[in-house]
């Protein structure tokens, strides 16, 4: 039986771990103990509470082991991953490594974006909650907001902000 480590507990990592876990020994490593519904972060950003989905509960009955922590060192020669866990460093061995750590938008090539943009999908609930605070401030003074992105998240976010904050002028740019 192969020992498989899946890095990342987002949509791809969680689905891979559950499916592969039926036939192999699988360990899922994720920095947070909860699954983040990235497609719902626009709701959090508009002030609604985040739904919690504990990963351990989601994996119950699958045979997948969960390790909360951040991968620090990948060593393909020894087939190990060193993970920083709340209890300290742990070294995990694998036969197969699945790298499912997601994506982040490139805000560094657009002047000012890194300092002024909020990233809904990349930073999880904390960034979405910070955006909610900022949106409330802007709405209180009838400010304006530009939502960049023509995908579902951008469209949903623009609509959610416009509905939640009628005094906020919302533009969507893609």
Determine contact, residues 87/64, Cβ cutoff 8 Å. no
Conformational region of residue 149, where left means phi above 0, alpha means psi within -120 to 50, and beta covers everything else:
left
Tens place of pLDDT per residue across the chain (174 aa): 789 999 999 999 999 999 999 889 999 999 999 998 887 888 888 888 878 899 999 999 999 999 999 999 999 999 999 999 999 999 999 999 999 998 777 778 888 888 888 877 656 777 888 888 999 999 999 999 998 877 888 888 899 999 999 999 999 886
CA distances from 13 to 7, 29, 44 (A): 7, 9, 22
Query: Domain of 164?
Result: 113-173
Final residue belonging to a domain, choices 99, 122, 139 = 99
Cα angle 64, 35, 147 (rounded to 5 degrees) comes to 150
- Is residue 146, in this structure, part of any structural domain at all? yes
- Is residue 11, in this structure, part of any structural domain at all? yes
- Strands across the sheet containing 88-93: 70-75, 80-85, 88-93
Final residue belonging to a domain, choices 73, 99, 125 = 99
Confidence (pTM): 0.76
Final residue belonging to a domain, choices 55, 74, 99 = 99
């Amino acid at each position: 039986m192969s020992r498989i480590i899946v890095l990342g507990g987002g949509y791809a990592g969680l689905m891979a771990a559950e499916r592969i876990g039926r036939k192999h020994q699988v360990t899922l490593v994720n920095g947070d103990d909860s699954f983040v519904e990235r497609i719902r972060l626009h709701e959090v950003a508009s002030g609604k509470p985040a739904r919690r989905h504990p990963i351990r509960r989601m994996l119950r009955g699958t045979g997948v082991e969960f390790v909360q922590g951040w991968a620090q060192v990948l060593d393909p020669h020894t087939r190990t991953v060193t993970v920083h866990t709340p209890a300290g460093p742990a070294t995990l061995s694998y036969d197969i490594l699945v790298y499912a750590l997601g994506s982040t938008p490139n805000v560094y090539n657009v002047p000012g974006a890194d300092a002024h943009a909020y990233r809904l999908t990349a930073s999880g609930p904390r960034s979405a909650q910070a955006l909610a605070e900022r949106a409330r401030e802007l709405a209180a003074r009838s400010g304006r907001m530009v939502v960049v992105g023509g995908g579902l998240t951008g469209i949903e976010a623009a609509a959610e902000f416009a509905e939640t904050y009628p005094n906020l002028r919302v533009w969507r740019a893609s």
